[in-house]
């Protein structure tokens, strides 16, 4: 600071001495007052800006704009890295298409409500099951459940247990009335034909077993909630599919299964 003041005083003294000398020789020179260092810097900055305006760069017109002053530049926050600013949508847009990230659209499921569209043996078996379940007597299901190799699957676990006994054990009451009611509700919904034209062809109730729960229309959700509770439906959505009771009847009329689960 002392050096800076000394230089200013020296500069002013020099100017004063030159003025006296010129006055003594009869020559009059108009002198300008001395400028402080900060004023000189401002003048130099202004001259640089004027030169930039007079000779703008040819490659970019945007560079001809006057840059913000130092105070405004200090108040601006730095922009985040471009990789951080890039959102997920942009990343997905530039993601290369591969076999792993391309999924085939799910085939539409044809839901049937007209039982006449099913083969006669299927219609007959469904009718017999409905009559037996509506009677409230679980034993009336026994002749329909079959025996040996043709026995109806009533549990996800394989075994030789008596099917009627198994169904009663799954019911909330000792007589199996709850299971009979569920059986009626399931057979009252629409149905689907699966694996058509193959040895595994089957007519399945309810159609929810073969349709995405996310694709259900409001009326279809009402139909589903006639079978399960709203809490059950939420659990199924988390599970990823319908996992309550379902009925399967083969084209020849054999009652293949009445089970709960995936």
Dump pLDDT digits (tens) for 214-243: 999 999 999 999 999 999 999 999 999 999
Q: Which two tokens stand for residue 61?
A: 């017109």
DSSP 140-192: GGHHHH--GGGPPB-SSS-----HHHHHHHHSSSTT-HHHHHHHHHHHTS-BE
- Which position has the token pair 């003594």? 24
Q: Which pLDDT score, from 0 to 100, does residue 261 have? A: 82
pLDDT (tens digit per residue) in 183-210: 999 999 999 999 999 999 999 999 999 9
Is residue 167 over pLDDT 60? yes
- How far is 54 from 7, CA to CA, in rounded Å? 34
- How far is 241 from 210, CA to CA, in rounded Å? 9
Asked if residues 163 and 152 have their Cβ atoms less than 8 Å apart, the reply is yes
Q: Which two tokens stand for residue 83?
A: 């990789």
The domain ranges of the chain are: 2-79, 115-260
Confidence band (pLDDT; 50, 70, 90) for 161? Answer: confident
- How far is 124 from 248, CA to CA, in rounded Å? 13
Contacting residues for 172 by C-beta, under 8 A, at least 6 apart: 178
Q: Which pLDDT score, from 0 to 100, does residue 90 have? A: 45
Three-state SS for 258? strand
| Mean pLDDT, rounded, for 11-37 | 46
Is residue 126 exposed (0-12), middle (13-18) or buried (19+ Cβ within 10 Å)?
buried
| Mean pLDDT, rounded, for 67-79 | 50
- How far is 223 from 221, CA to CA, in rounded Å? 5
Three-state SS for 2? helix
- Which position has the token pair 């010129």? 22
Is residue 172 over pLDDT 90? yes
N- to C-terminal Cα separation, the chain: 87
Asked if residues 177 and 224 have their Cβ atoms less than 8 Å apart, the reply is no
Edge-to-edge strands of the sheet including 202-205?
192-194, 202-205, 245-249, 255-260
Q: Which residue has the higher pLDDT, 189 or 58?
A: 189
Is residue 33 over pLDDT 80? no
Q: Which DSSP letter does residue 228 get?
A: S
Q: Which pLDDT score, from 0 to 100, does residue 190 have? A: 96
Peptide bond just before 206 cis, omega within 30 deg? yes
Query: Out of 46-55, 189-198, 253-262, which region has the weakest mean confidence (pLDDT)?
Result: 46-55
Q: Which two tokens stand for residue 66?
A: 């006057």
Q: Which pLDDT score, from 0 to 100, does residue 61 have? A: 47
φ, ψ of residue 109 to 5 degrees: the values are -100, 125
Q: Which pLDDT score, from 0 to 100, does residue 10 have? A: 45
Q: Which pLDDT score, from 0 to 100, does residue 115 have? A: 96
Is residue 6 over pLDDT 70? no
- Which position has the token pair 């020559």? 27
| Mean pLDDT, rounded, for 60-87 | 48
Above pLDDT 90, what percent of the chain? 53
Q: Which pLDDT score, from 0 to 100, does residue 21 have? A: 44
Q: Which two tokens stand for residue 112?
A: 């049937």
């Amino acid at each position: 600071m002392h050096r800076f003041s000394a230089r200013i005083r020296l500069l002013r003294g020099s100017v004063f001495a030159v003025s006296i000398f010129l006055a003594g020789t009869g020559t009059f020179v108009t002198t300008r007052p001395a400028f402080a260092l900060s004023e000189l810097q401002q003048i130099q900055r202004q001259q640089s800006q004027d030169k930039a305006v007079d000779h703008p760069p040819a490659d970019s017109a945007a560079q001809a704009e006057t840059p913000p002053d130092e105070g405004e530049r200090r108040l601006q926050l730095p922009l985040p890295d471009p990789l951080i600013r890039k959102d997920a949508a942009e990343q997905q847009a530039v993601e290369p298409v591969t076999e792993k990230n391309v999924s085939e659209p799910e085939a539409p499921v044809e839901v049937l409500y007209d039982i006449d569209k099913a083969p006669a043996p299927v219609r007959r078996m469904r009718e017999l099951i409905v009559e037996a379940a509506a009677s409230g007597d679980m034993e009336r299901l026994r002749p329909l459940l079959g025996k040996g190799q043709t026995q109806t699957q009533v549990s996800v676990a394989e075994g030789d247990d008596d099917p009627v006994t198994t169904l009663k054990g799954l019911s909330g009451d000792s007589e199996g009335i709850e299971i009979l009611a569920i059986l009626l509700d399931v057979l009252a919904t629409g149905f689907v034909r699966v694996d058509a034209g193959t040895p595994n062809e089957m007519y399945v109730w309810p159609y929810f077993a073969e349709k995405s729960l996310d694709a259900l229309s409001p009326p279809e959700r009402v139909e589903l909630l006639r079978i399960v509770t709203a809490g059950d439906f939420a659990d199924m959505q988390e599970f990823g599919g319908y996992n309550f009771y379902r009925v399967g009847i083969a084209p020849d009329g054999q009652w293949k299964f009445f089970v709960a689960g995936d």
